[in-house]
Structure 1
Amino acid sequence: MSKEMQEKTIGFDSFPVEIIHDILRYLRKADMSTLYSCIRVNRNLCKLVIPYIWNNPMPNTYSLINLEIFINLFDEKDKNLLKNQYELDIDDTYQPLFNYTSYIKVLDPRGVRRAAFYWLKNYYVQKFPYSDIYVDFKNNPIIDIIEKSLLRIILKNSSKIENLILDFAEKYQDIPSCNIFLLKELQQGGEGGESNQSEQLSHGIREITKLSIMNPSLKRFDNIQEFLDLLPTICTNIKKIKFYDLFFIEPTMELKLCNVIKSQRNLTSINLTYNIFGLISVIRHQRNSLKKLVLRYIHHNDICLFNTFDQLINLEFLEINECFPINIILEPLIRANLKLVTLKIIDIEGIEGKYDLVESIIKSSGSTLKHLSLNIYVDLIEDKLPLSKLCPNLIHLDLKVSIRVIDEDDDIDVESKKQPTIFNYIDSLKHLKNLHLEFAFYVIGYFEEFDQYINFINFPSLRFISLKDQHYSSNFFKRWFEHFSTMFNKITFYIDSESDEYYFDPLDDFVQEMNDNGLSLVYTFDGYSNFVATDRILC
């Protein structure tokens, strides 16, 4: 066989396994339908794909899972109840090709209950197509049996549950007994010697590294309370904790969640949403290991509450989203002399009067800072150091630029000063690859010829740029295209579909004319216009 013929017969199996896994990880996030299609290619690829599909199979919205592949693993008692007492025609002889539960890494008990609920509804639709049988999601003994059986199987057979997601919303009622989560039923009444019990101890939720808790119920459910008491005693290797949408957290539950944080050996990430002040006070217990901190919608005036933030010297990622007053959070963080990689400060007030504090954190991070997101007022950065001097190694920059409402008595010459300010501020970032600028409150339209300054900025490494504004002008877009088409292969205009035809039609004609040059037009409904350039032309 010639060399040419041999090259033609090389199959997909010849790909390095590492590259295949990179592709499958991407498809797992972006295109599940293609991932399912990969199963049919051949047996070897099927074996590689199955763990990605079954990483987190339980539904968040309406979707069906073929529960028959699990039923043969149910306890005989549960199978008999379903078949004899509730008269379900279930096939417990089906033998699946894989032990699918061994691949599950994400456990969401609510998803398990939804899987049972949707399966039961579909079962009745198929068996009794003209019936109006009502399936109660909260109170249904059949769903209870299936849910508990599924949880037992997952917790017993999964090689390692990494991520536990708990939704305590009242609509879901209480969680199943914590004995299921801890596999106590198997340990106390199971068969086998000590080696078998030792093997079981490695399963369940003991080795989770991620914990998410949301939506605490207003009611006090016994199983939830008992579970939160036991959680810090059995899970001490959690790396990432996310508590969000905890609108109505009561003191007892807050204390239990504080114990969860304090009990972890090396917690690297904490994400807190809304006014859970007790949890903020215990962050200091993880000061040596904590690398990521996200605070959202925290409104509190107690300076002492945040004083210990000056101990968070190892932070690499900091996000502060609409917290008030922001200065009592920033001031202790300045004392920590942070070396951040990512800084995101999202404030509806545009960090008015607080920019000096933000600048101090940017300056202390210096060359380590790679990702920066800010809401700023144009006049507040007048005469400030440009980012190229503060953090020269930025790769990703996201700015929302606004204009303050200026009183007549304010000594601010808006017309003469503000046009070039924002571009002086961001110019000459040599490593910048991704730039997003959103101009709020008609910033572009407020200043004459504002768009022309874009021609003078120097970003030699830029791969993506997005310019977004509520003000619409076809001339702006045309000039931007003329400038950026010399640097980018693909340019798209995103235009509000309700824009005036007076502006709309000329731009539409221009896009048709330039279609061969990589220009396209997309209609949207958000009231904004958006200019996006991607795919840098490599010289």
Structure 2
Amino acid sequence: MSKLYRDILYLIIEELQYDRKSLVSCLTINKIWCEIIIPILWKNAWEDLAFDKENLFLNTIISHLSDEERNNLSQYSKISYKKPLFNYISFCKHLNLEIIENIILSHGQGQYNEIKNYILNLFINKNAEYTHLYMTNYYYEYHLIPEAEQCFSKIKFLRCDSRVKENSLAILTKMCKSIEDFELIIYKYENNFGIPKLIENQENLINVSFLHKYSPYDGLFRAFLENSLIKHANTIQYFNICGQLETQILTSFVNLKDLVLMGDWERWIFIENLSLPSLQSLYTRDINTESLKGLIENSGGKLNELNISYSVIFPDAISTKEIIQVICQNCPNLTHLEFYYKNCNVLDLEKLLIKCQYLKILGIYYIVEDEFMNWDNLFNILVTSSPLSLHKLKIIYPVNQPELKSLKLFFDNWEGRKPISLIISIKGDFIRKKQLNDLIGNYKSKGVVKDFIHYSYEYDDLIESKAKEIVKDLKTKAANIFYGFKNLFN
């Protein structure tokens, strides 16, 4: 029974591996829980590592060194270290060389090279085997470390930058054949033209991202990169690119499901007549209206997620109307839509809501500095015309906040539908917070409101990211069972 209990517990905890806060809270329940949770937490030890925890993290790593090695590091020789309860490093499947570099630079106190060599030897040795590798720092020669080839032979995910050193690239090209997810950060200069060979060598490349650190970029290098993907035309399902395409490579991706395009408002001729019959998710940023319309028209009608955003130049009401019309005509299966909106497009929005009957999540970007949002009109259209499936609403950047009476009327009219999760980002903070909290609490108790998140877009974008996480419903069956198990031992 003990083994069965352990196996079931492991499966449940593995389902919750991204809810690190809850897992940490369970470490002290008993020995079995601790032995299961520690390897899961250390699988990707770098995830969400806060700056104020880096020194503690470094000390934990240093504790794995021998007494002789620590004595060679003057700043650690006088510190008493207990032997770690676990060989934490052995549980790592993600190796983030960039974070290692940054931590040592921040906390190494003048012994950078010595500490770095010792730590890299802890992580890169004959017993280590990684599935994820992050090496966006190009200064270190990893070919000098014995067993580097063996450690990297089963990499599934690789993030590197275009300046990667020749010898390090040689190891990757020789040993890495099973990369499925590849992210390349492209710099303006010093691009290594051996990277296309690394790409060609992969046996099952599925996800590809070409991200630019600076603009403009080297068009010739980009063309070489794009052409190296031809071999993988049948396997690539996700493609993310910043800046104009240099070739017509997208026409080859017959099984592409997810596409991310980040432009500069120039026309993308290569995408206007592009046919992508398998495309399910499209994210665009600063893509010219004509190019965007052409892409949506030829998307094959299978899109279920569409996100259209802008950072500097914003479309006028006519362009917004044209985009909404194209969505209505070509995207009947959308479940998630985020796009730019103006008050004068309210009737266009109504048509879209009527047409997209499977919509579950709607995000509206209202970026008009000199015009207040008409909340009453928007809420009325949402109540009268949105499909019954809609249950998450995000409204970003309006100058003005909704009146409490407008929110109350909206919630009254929403009663009887799926509970709504509402995120509102405004300039400044809500006034009359107590009345707002009382109002939301009332409608939560009635089952009308599931979540209500509001924050100021004057703060860091991280707040929006956290808000998104709050809205997520983490109460899955696995989570409920997990907390049931936990309560048995508290």
Place the TM-score, normalised by the shorter chain, in its bin: 0.7 to 0.9
Identity of aligned residues (%): 16
Alignment-derived partner of residue 291 in structure 1: 237
Alignment-derived partner of residue 411 in structure 1: none
Aligned counterpart for 1:483 among listed residues 413, 417, 428 = 413
Q: Do the aligned residues in 1 keep the contact of 2:44 with 2:92 (CA within 8 Å)?
A: yes
Determine if the alignment matches structure 1 residue 81 to structure 2 residue 80. no
1 CA distance for matches of 2:419 and 2:59?
48
Deviations 1:322-366 (A, max 9, x none): 25534224136x14x43112111222x6x323343023233x1x2
| Closer, same or farther: CA 88–441 of 1 in aligned 2, 3 Å | same
2 CA distance for matches of 1:341 and 1:87?
53
Alignment-derived partner of residue 308 in structure 1: 249
2 CA distance for matches of 1:68 and 1:356?
53
Any stretches of 5+ residues in structure 1 without a counterpart? 1-10, 121-134, 185-200, 217-222, 404-414
The letter for the 1-side match of 2:456 is: F
Aligned counterpart for 1:345 among listed residues 261, 264, 284 = 284
Note the C-alpha offset of 1:41.
0.9
Alignment-derived partner of residue 143 in structure 2: 178
1 CA distance for matches of 2:7 and 2:454?
44
Higher relative contact order (CA 8 A, sep 6+): 2
| Closer, same or farther: CA 497–467 of 1 in aligned 2, 3 Å | closer
Note the C-alpha offset of 1:43.
1.2
Secondary structure in 1 matching 2:184: strand
Determine if the alignment matches structure 1 residue 209 to structure 2 residue 156. yes
2 CA distance for matches of 1:535 and 1:98?
33
Q: Do the aligned residues in 1 keep the contact of 2:356 with 2:387 (CA within 8 Å)?
A: yes
Note the C-alpha offset of 1:54.
1.2
Alignment-derived partner of residue 370 in structure 1: 304
1 CA distance for matches of 2:293 and 2:326?
13
The letter for the 1-side match of 2:391 is: R
Alignment-derived partner of residue 440 in structure 1: 367
Alignment-derived partner of residue 195 in structure 1: none
Q: Do the aligned residues in 1 keep the contact of 2:137 with 2:161 (CA within 8 Å)?
A: yes
1 CA distance for matches of 2:236 and 2:437?
50
Alignment-derived partner of residue 525 in structure 1: 456
2 CA distance for matches of 1:369 and 1:521?
28
Q: Do the aligned residues in 1 keep the contact of 2:64 with 2:87 (CA within 8 Å)?
A: no
Deviations 1:468-507 (A, max 9, x none): 35242426444433333443546657464647x9xx45x8
| Closer, same or farther: CA 511–179 of 1 in aligned 2, 3 Å | closer
The letter for the 2-side match of 1:26 is: Y
Note the C-alpha offset of 1:438.
1.8
Alignment-derived partner of residue 249 in structure 1: 189
Note the C-alpha offset of 1:153.
2.2
Q: Do the aligned residues in 2 keep the contact of 1:75 with 1:149 (CA within 8 Å)?
A: no
Note the C-alpha offset of 1:242.
0.9
TM-score with structure 2 setting the length:
0.75
Secondary structure in 2 matching 1:354: helix
Alignment-derived partner of residue 396 in structure 2: 468
Deviations 1:297-323 (A, max 9, x none): x147xxxx2223211112111011225
Aligned counterpart for 1:516 among listed residues 435, 442, 452 = 442
Deviations 1:250-289 (A, max 9, x none): 2xx3302222222222211111123353223433232122
| Closer, same or farther: CA 147–74 of 1 in aligned 2, 3 Å | farther
The letter for the 2-side match of 1:289 is: T
| Closer, same or farther: CA 469–476 of 1 in aligned 2, 3 Å | farther
1 CA distance for matches of 2:264 and 2:173?
29
Matches within 5 A, 1:383-422: 387=327, 390-402=330-342, 418-422=345-349
Q: Do the aligned residues in 1 keep the contact of 2:397 with 2:425 (CA within 8 Å)?
A: no
Note the C-alpha offset of 1:110.
3.2
Q: Do the aligned residues in 2 keep the contact of 1:489 with 1:534 (CA within 8 Å)?
A: no
Alignment-derived partner of residue 266 in structure 1: 204
The letter for the 1-side match of 2:411 is: F
Note the C-alpha offset of 1:49.
0.5
1 CA distance for matches of 2:162 and 2:166?
14
Q: Do the aligned residues in 1 keep the contact of 2:70 with 2:76 (CA within 8 Å)?
A: no
Alignment-derived partner of residue 30 in structure 2: 42
Note the C-alpha offset of 1:509.
4.2
Q: Do the aligned residues in 1 keep the contact of 2:366 with 2:373 (CA within 8 Å)?
A: no
Note the C-alpha offset of 1:384.
6.9
Note the C-alpha offset of 1:295.
1.1
Q: Do the aligned residues in 2 keep the contact of 1:345 with 1:373 (CA within 8 Å)?
A: yes
1 CA distance for matches of 2:177 and 2:194?
14
The structure that has the greater radius of gyration is: 1
- Aligned CA RMSD, in angstroms, stands at 3.9
Secondary structure in 1 matching 2:208: strand
Note the C-alpha offset of 1:204.
1.2
Deviations 1:351-396 (A, max 9, x none): 323343023233x1x2x32211124755344597574653333222
Deviations 1:145-201 (A, max 9, x none): 2322222222226552111112327xxxx2144221x527xxxxxxxxxxxxxxxx6
Aligned counterpart for 2:122 among listed residues 153, 172, 176 = 153
Alignment-derived partner of residue 188 in structure 1: none
Note the C-alpha offset of 1:102.
1.7
Q: Do the aligned residues in 1 keep the contact of 2:230 with 2:252 (CA within 8 Å)?
A: yes
| Closer, same or farther: CA 152–294 of 1 in aligned 2, 3 Å | same
Matches within 5 A, 1:99-138: 99-116=87-104, 120=108, 135-136=109-110
Secondary structure in 2 matching 1:35: helix
| Closer, same or farther: CA 148–457 of 1 in aligned 2, 3 Å | same
